[in-house]
Amino acid sequence: MNIAEAIRTEAAASRFQISRQAYTDPAVYQLEMDRIFSHCWLYVGHSTEIEKPGDFKTRTLADRSVIFLKDRNGSIRCFLNVCPHRGAQVCRLSEGNARSFSCIYHGWIFENTGKSLSIAEPETYPPNFGEGGRNDLVPVPRFEEYRGFWFVNFDRKAQSLRDYLGDACDYIDVIVDQAATEMHIVGKAQEYSARANWKLLAENSTDILHVEALHPTYLDLVATNSGGAMKRGKMLGKCVDLGNGHSVIERQATYGRPIAQWISLWGDDAKAEIDAIYDRLVKMYGEERAIRMARYSRNLLIFPNLVINDIMSITVRSFQPKAADYMEVNVWALAPKEEIGTPALERRLSNFLEFLGPGGFATPDDIEALESCQRAALSAREAPWNDLSKGFDPKSADKVGDTKDELPQRAFWRGWQARLLSTGA
């Protein structure tokens, strides 16, 4: 398909549309792997997942297997999981703790700093054979961190992570600063998938227009839990195009939040705790920012495939396209370290599971909707356009809108198109 024609706008009717072929065409998927996933910053993991020297996780980013680890000297590193000899995967475990890695094929061994420790029959090679680190593990081209979140970029010439995140940094700060200590990943990732194009999940993650239609069973649960105090209704807040394809919705929370909005289900003891948390935030950040941190929630999309949703709980979600119609999804729970071992964490995890994940009261219905869109997109020839016009004003810059506008989706697609059209990348 022609990328330049994938987005269609019609000023007279304030229409903004997307070609449905963009979800189904294998050639588009290939182009995305080349021009988006090989040039954008991709989230790999959180520093608290690898706390001790030797801790490692193997992860897949844009089809590349990588090893995310803390080396014997305490430095966090990331290597391509491929043996410099004849290309077997050096690490065959999904996680663990190791001072070194030895390849099963011919036995080459590597320190967790990436340095070659030994090769098979070294006496049969010339003495300068390993010079210049040519027998070492290959580090990912770029590897940078923002506030505990580590990202990889396969483009050596990419802009810095900080510049890439741009205005999204403030929203990450508002989340991370809620912790009195630091934010910590709790437990392991939920690993699931969807038989749908990855862009459908990107659109869905910053869409609250769908909540009442798609998630009434969740809203019923929330109403029961809060004794009816949490009502559906107009949500105060806004959505913002953060540039580079990133976007956010920030709005008043209509459910209990561990930091810091109490509901009756949690009991009176919890109320005192939650009030104290709120007071701490006011003291540290002033009332305006404290209200934002405590009583507002955020759906944040970092282009192309990272979502940090600070809603009834905090979830970090990344998704890996595997084909035009299939993606793998990994989801983590994030919590302030001071909550670990206290009832506060229990509330946070209960909030998480009520809504989120493959067994929640809402996420399965999201997946059902995405898969439904994917099947229907096969009618693209006769019914070619998806509509994302809500809140679209062709005369405005389209940078800030109401919470239920489709502005975050438009921001995503503009970022997508710009990347696919840039041949210089």
**228 binds another protein, rule: CB under 8 A:** no
If the CB atoms of residues 103 and 370 are measured against ligand FES, the closer one turns out to be 103
388's CB contacts (< 8 A; 6+ apart) are: 16, 17, 18, 406, 409, 410, 413
**349 binds another protein, rule: CB under 8 A:** yes
- Tell me the backbone φ, ψ of residue 301, rounded to 5 degrees: -110, 120
325 close to 24: Cβ distance less than 8 angstroms: yes
Partner that binds at residue 105, options another protein, Fe ion, ligand FES, none, CB closer than 5 to 8 Å by kind: ligand FES
- According to CB under 8 A, which one of 359, 393, 421, 422 is a site residue for another protein? 359
- According to CB under 8 A, which one of 83, 186, 208, 290 is a site residue for another protein? 186
C-alpha distances in Å from residue 137, one per residue of 65, 89, 145, 253, 373: 13, 11, 21, 46, 42
**190 binds another protein, rule: CB under 8 A:** yes
**31 binds another protein, rule: CB under 8 A:** no
If the CB atoms of residues 173 and 365 are measured against Fe ion, the closer one turns out to be 365
Tokens, residue 37: 């996933």
Within the chain, what is the greatest distance between any pair of CA atoms? 77
If the CB atoms of residues 7 and 369 are measured against Fe ion, the closer one turns out to be 369
**255 binds ligand FES, rule: CB under 6 A:** no
**394 binds another protein, rule: CB under 8 A:** no
Other C-beta atoms closer than 10 Å to the C-beta of 382 total 5
Site for another protein in 79-118 (CB under 8 A): 94
Site for ligand FES in 63-102 (CB under 6 A): 83, 85-88
Pairing relation of β-strands 76-80 and 100-102?
Answer: unpaired
**108 binds ligand FES, rule: CB under 6 A:** yes
If the CB atoms of residues 95 and 167 are measured against another protein, the closer one turns out to be 95
Q: How far is CA 303 from the centre of its chain?
A: 9
Stretch that binds another protein, among 17-25, 99-107, 133-141, 332-340 (CB under 8 A): 332-340
Query: Measuring CA to CA, which residue among 47, 77, 43, 39 is closest to residue 61?
Result: 43
Partner that binds at residue 357, options Fe ion, ligand FES, another protein, none, CB closer than 5 to 8 Å by kind: another protein
- Number of H helices and E strands in the chain, helices first, is 10, 21
**238 binds ligand FES, rule: CB under 6 A:** no
SS3 category, 222: helix
Partner that binds at residue 190, options another protein, ligand FES, Fe ion, none, CB closer than 5 to 8 Å by kind: another protein
Chain residues binding ligand FES by CB under 6 A are 83, 85-88, 103, 105-108
